[in-house]
Structure 1
Amino acid sequence: QWIDDCPNSLYSALTYKGGPSWREHLRKDLGNVSGLRPMIEDYEDQELHDLMTNLAGHDMASVLDCFHNIEGDDPTCFIAYTVKGKELPLAGHKDNHAGLMSPEQMAKFQVQMGIAEGDEWNPFAGLDVDAQELRVFLKQVPFAQGPDRRRHAAKVPVPESLPCPKSDKPISTQEAFGRILYDIAGQDGDFAHRIVTTSPDVTVSTNLGGWVNRRGIFDRHRREDIFREEKVVSAQRWAMHPDGQHVELGIAENNLFLTLAALGLSYSLFGERLLPVGTLYDPFVNRGLDALNYACYQDARFMLIGTPSGITLAPEGGAHQSIGTPLIGLAQDGLSAFEPTFVDELAEIMQWGFGHMQADSGGSGYLRLTTRPLTQPLRQMTS
């Protein structure tokens, strides 16, 4: 109970100071507890220090006992307290995050660990079990038996060209993006079935509405469109079912990138290929940069649509202008950035992007679109 009630700062300081300080505080706080003082005095300083810093995370017998007592296959979270830098002279000190041991301290630590000079990189140095016995054991543990944790998925054939919207009136790249996905949603075949879209609270305002109307929202249970049941007029028909191909997130840009990362790693984690497409207002890419960076770092594959971008959203306020996000696209490793001006360019880039996200040496794509309608050039795209 004393450890549970002890502030982290005090526990850290006592860990750094060692046995005499533990003894002083325990005497002061618990000296009146019947039978406890003699028990404290039975320990030498180092023994008392070892006892008080033997938190559960360092007690492998306790850790294994917890593991073995879990019943069923439900995901379980273990919270294990540990001492940062345990057994090191820096242990417990609040400055140890950037602390470095001196050569003298390292030499003492090497002796303490029982590692002879020259054996620093021997994986079994300092252990009291025969090295060959350990090698045999490690080859037999379930983790080493397979299957390979990295799975593989067949590539999904991408059409040679995507449906390019034709319009005799000015049209924006955002509107064209929505039309392209809407046309794909009306097709049958593996390509259309493997696309999964996701968005925060901007599904409609990034022109994903048509796709969602045709493909539905993913939910583990079938749920009817409440607006339609209540006879509320809406252009959106958002039934939810397990076959839905859109993940609706709400106001959560960071969750968008976490979702794209998970969907974009399905080929490696589960051996199933998905083609994720995520949309958000381009100014708000900044809200999820850490998750975006780690998604690309893990080689997740997806297509990110930042729209509206630039100053086309400026009427909604200065914070809605995105003039710095091109630097993100240029700097982020594993992410190819594009800013198509015309609709035919957008269709070509999307077609390339769906293939690039499946290539062995490929990656993800980031397309910045706008709501500014432009007159389209009359031309035939070349190869």
Structure 2
Amino acid sequence: MSELDTTAATAPAPTAAPAGHALSAAEADTLREISQRVLWLSAAIVDAANRGRPNTSGVKVGGHQASSASMVDIMVALWFHELTSLDRVSVKPHASPVLHAINHLLGDLDASYLPTLRAKGGLQSYPSRLKDPDTVDFSTGSVGIGATAALWAAISHRYVRSQFADAPPAGRFVSLLGDAELDEGAIWEAVADPQVASLGELLWVVDLNRQSLDRVVPDIQIARLQGMFAAAGWQVVTLKWGRLISALFSRPGGEELRRRLEEMPNEEYQRMLRVDSSQVADRIMGDTTTGQGGSAQLRALLDQVPAAQLAAAVRDLGGHDLGLLVDTFGAVDDHRPTVVFAYTVKGRGLPTEGHPNNHSALLTEAQMRALADASGTSLEDPWRAFEPDSAAADLCRGRGAALRRTPVPPPASVTVPTALGHPHRKPVSTQAALGRLLADLKHDAPAAAARVVTCSPDVASSTNLGGWINKTGVWSVQDRRDWFADDAERVLKWHEVATGQHIELGIAEVNLVGLLGELGATWSRWGERLIPIATLYDPFVSRALEPWSYGIYSGGQSILVGTPSGVTLAPEGGAHQSITTPSIGLEQPGCVAWEPAFAADLEWTFLHAMSQVGVPGGTSAYFRLSTRPIDPALAALPEDPALLERRRRQAIAGGYRLSPHAPASDEVTLVGVGALMPEVLEAASVLAAAGVSAGVVCLTSPDLVFRSWQQRSSRGVGEGSGIVDLLFPAAAAAPLVTVLDGHPHTLSFLAGVRGDRTRCLGVTDFGQSSGLADAYALHGIDAGSIADAALSLLGR
């Protein structure tokens, strides 16, 4: 196998596994018995979901018996010897049956669930922290993203411990990933982050089975991968061969045997696994007629080994040697992160072992019966337990008790104020208003502020987090000297301390939202509530969406602020002008999308969003903000406290009317969002001068208005309320002109609220560098275009 060669000049020398065997012979035998049972259970779980379940739809249920098999020994060594109740493990997606099999043996999953893989109410297709009935630490359906989640969880726990003295401890954060996952960019963005090099609690184990979904992967450059991890400060351990075949390497001809196997291409090696044991020696010798085959000494060595033993030896890779795995996991350096490259065979122990198309292959009934016989069970009684007085049963009971966790206590109650009460008198952008809100929060609501942690991918100052950072500091694993502390001209104070509340990452949005999701899960992992807030440029929300969505799916609650947004960022040009993000926000599950226009709206809606983060049943939020200063007088805030509170409640429900007249007087209704409200109000004035009574509706959250439309039977102001009927009463039908700095599709649903004739204005093409007025005119979202659209609807 050519990729086994780790002697390339650019690669670091792999760390050797310890020489001593930590397991006694009896312990090793018990672990092997459990491993064989886990192999059976994982295969049987998939088999039951396919052959054992009625299926009239014609849609394949599927599962991954081969991908599970390569992970069995690695996971058995961890769960049945190495892990503690404080450890948290991310399991590669296709090995979910192994995780469920292990949890069953540990007493954490009732046998009634084992036949329910991919069935309603049953075991999920991939590990799911929220949807599976047994213990799952990380959801890993998204390849590459789930593997990095444990890394961000490690940082999140360190942050929690640095802020709250009574926060519970944690152990190792382990990721079990397939070698094909190393193709994912998310992996390398995370590995390269400078803070990661200090995470000694981080352990990654790569299931190096050298197969992806469609093929045997040719010539993986293991030396290159080793070098990349080592360059990032990781300890690199490589487990190539088990101890059975290593004993052969020490005999005469053994070095040639090693060299032959390590120079063998992946495809040739795996083809050798498929032949009869009597042919293995000849496969190793190669074509001796050309002078390129093995030597007489190698032949002599191979002739000394019985065929069955030789076939077992060539399969004896490091990822299947339980004793070697146990020794390795117990001896890693705990002062820096560790990656273990564990060589395995995809489908190990199954009839599909090593086959290039085994990824989704399912065993036949006859093959399942043969596997059952080899595993001490039967197809008729697939979930048979170990004999109660057996060593295997004793170990399962003991490990189950050792790994049992204390239930996580509910997070402490923290009150987030509904408003801060500071007047907004000067023109200000919503982005600047957010900066002021966070800075004021530290003084006005210190208990809530203590739970806030902000994050940014190197854009903290340009997204107005400077005031907050000056007050709280930048979080670091350890205090760092501030060499600019005596610089009187510096406005942003960059104090990196262990008690800071801002985490700065490099320019990698995937890292940002990966950390955000785990910071947003600390309330359910360790009972400590955080309110994580991340700012990034809105055009890059799409880049970060998939891992952020994964974090929400996994139970992470957070606030993502996309700012600045839209073509309002006119001089920056088309590359920095977001178009589709309002629609993305409206359609993201587990999240409320907001786009407030005025500073007061931002204050009310943002505080409300904060109150929903880090609590049972909470939700994430996406805010789309602008750098365009807007005069707060345009909001026409009521002076009467009761009316002002009514306005606030409407703002957090999704929107409010800005017109002084009743909806019944509307000849046309103008609906605006965010930074375009000045143009909407100006268009209303133009129409009034033309004798047209135009109502004006300001939406703070098209998302919540859409939900209100979908849930009209609900009443009471708030999410899912009747706000849509308040804004668009059925008795006051009028044509609608909707406008926002984004794709017009976002507000097109409003046409269905009352069946009004509607014209949707927005941005449907890439922009260009220009002034603000030119940008709005270019896309037809200026006041003149809005008024023209209204007059056209009225036939004038």
- TM-score of Structure 1 vs Structure 2, range by shorter chain: 0.7 to 0.9
Q: What is residue 273 of structure 1 aligned with on the other side?
A: 529
Q: Is 1:31 matched up with 2:294?
A: yes
Residues 364 and 313 of structure 1: CA distance in aligned 2, closer, same or farther (over 3 Å): same
- Alpha-carbon deviation of 1:338? 1.7
Q: Is 1:100 matched up with 2:356?
A: no
Deviation per residue, 1:293-319 (Å, 9 max, x gap): 321122112111111122223532322
What is the one-letter code of the residue matched to 2:265?
P
Give secondary structure in 1 for the equivalent of 2:585: helix
Give secondary structure in 2 for the equivalent of 1:326: helix
Residues 70 and 254 of structure 1: CA distance in aligned 2, closer, same or farther (over 3 Å): closer
1:4-23 residue pairs with structure 2 within 5 A?
4-17=262-275, 19-20=277-278, 22-23=280-281
Deviation per residue, 1:138-182 (Å, 9 max, x gap): 33226645432745431322123245550243x221121111111
1:210-359 residue pairs with structure 2 within 5 A?
210-229=467-486, 233-359=489-615
2: distance between equivalents of 1:248 and 1:179?
19
2:329 paired residue among 67, 82, 85: 67
2: distance between equivalents of 1:143 and 1:6?
45
- Alpha-carbon deviation of 1:43? 4.1
1: distance between equivalents of 2:409 and 2:523?
7
1:117-156 residue pairs with structure 2 within 5 A?
117-122=379-384, 124=385, 130-131=387-388, 133=390, 134-141=392-399, 144=402, 146-148=404-406, 150=408, 152-156=410-414
Q: Is 1:86 matched up with 2:378?
A: no
What is the one-letter code of the residue matched to 2:362?
L
Checking the alignment, whether the CA contact within 8 Å between 1:165 and 1:180 is kept in structure 2 is no
1:116 paired residue among 378, 384, 390: 378
1: distance between equivalents of 2:336 and 2:608?
40
TM-score (norm 1): 0.86
Counting aligned pairs with the same residue, the percent is 37
Higher-Rg member (1/2): 2
Residues 12 and 288 of structure 1: CA distance in aligned 2, closer, same or farther (over 3 Å): farther
What is the one-letter code of the residue matched to 1:378?
A
What is the one-letter code of the residue matched to 1:293?
S
Residues 194 and 318 of structure 1: CA distance in aligned 2, closer, same or farther (over 3 Å): same
1: distance between equivalents of 2:466 and 2:610?
20
2: distance between equivalents of 1:55 and 1:165?
69
Residues 325 and 38 of structure 1: CA distance in aligned 2, closer, same or farther (over 3 Å): same
Q: Which has the higher contact order (CA 8 A, sep 6+)?
A: 1
Checking the alignment, whether the CA contact within 8 Å between 2:562 and 2:625 is kept in structure 1 is yes
Residues 325 and 48 of structure 1: CA distance in aligned 2, closer, same or farther (over 3 Å): farther
1: distance between equivalents of 2:374 and 2:451?
56
What is the one-letter code of the residue matched to 2:431?
Q
What is the one-letter code of the residue matched to 1:172?
S
Checking the alignment, whether the CA contact within 8 Å between 1:340 and 1:369 is kept in structure 2 is yes
What is the one-letter code of the residue matched to 1:257?
V
- Alpha-carbon deviation of 1:262? 2.7
Deviation per residue, 1:13-52 (Å, 9 max, x gap): 3223453553223123773163x32332344544322221
2: distance between equivalents of 1:354 and 1:9?
54
> What is the aligned-residue RMSD (CA, Å)?
2.8
Residues 272 and 243 of structure 1: CA distance in aligned 2, closer, same or farther (over 3 Å): same
Residues 69 and 364 of structure 1: CA distance in aligned 2, closer, same or farther (over 3 Å): same
1: distance between equivalents of 2:424 and 2:279?
79
Higher alpha-carbon deviation: 215-224 or 69-78:
69-78
Aligned residues: 375
